[in-house]
Amino acid sequence: MEVFKLRLKKVVSLSNCPVCGKDVLRVIAPGRYARAYFDCGSVFATPDCQEIVAEIACPNPTAVAAKALNDEVSAELAKLKTGVAV
Ligand SMILES: [Zn+2]
């Protein structure tokens, strides 16, 4: 499969913002480009089949870091509940 088709497929398959996880609102893919709009305001696209770009940056870039911290806390809590030393 040609690389541009893989890029189109990737953008069309996005159901959440790759940065903060907010839901996709709309995806358009009329042919040689695809564009995905997300609830946070970000827009990811493959303009004329070129590499995927963030046409509008996600305004919540720290959300990923906060989620990672919360995941770590959840993992530590699970270990405490099972009696494994943290
Ligand atoms: Zn976002």
Q: What is the pLDDT of residues 9-55, one digit of tens each?
A: 999 999 999 988 899 999 999 988 999 999 999 999 998 878 999 99
Is the separation of the CB atoms in 21 and 62 below 8 Å?
Answer: no
The reported pTM is 0.73
Which two tokens mark 60? Answer: 């919540």
Provide the β-strand partners of residue 35.
28, 45
Please tell me the predicted confidence (pLDDT) of residue 52: 96
Ligand 1 center to residue 44 CA distance, Å? 10
Ligand 1 center to residue 79 CA distance, Å? 31
Single-letter residue type at 3:
V
* Number of separate domains in the chain: 1
Ligand 1 center to residue 28 CA distance, Å? 18
Ligand 1 center to residue 80 CA distance, Å? 32
- Using one digit for the tens of pLDDT, what is the confidence trace for 53-81? 999 999 888 877 888 899 999 999 999 99
Query: Which runs of consecutive H residues, i.e. helices, occur in the chain?
Result: 3-13, 62-82
Provide the β-strand partners of residue 56.
43
Backbone torsions φ then ψ of 75, nearest 5 degrees: -65, -40
Provide the β-strand partners of residue 26.
37
Ligand 1 center to residue 23 CA distance, Å? 8
Ligand 1 center to residue 17 CA distance, Å? 5
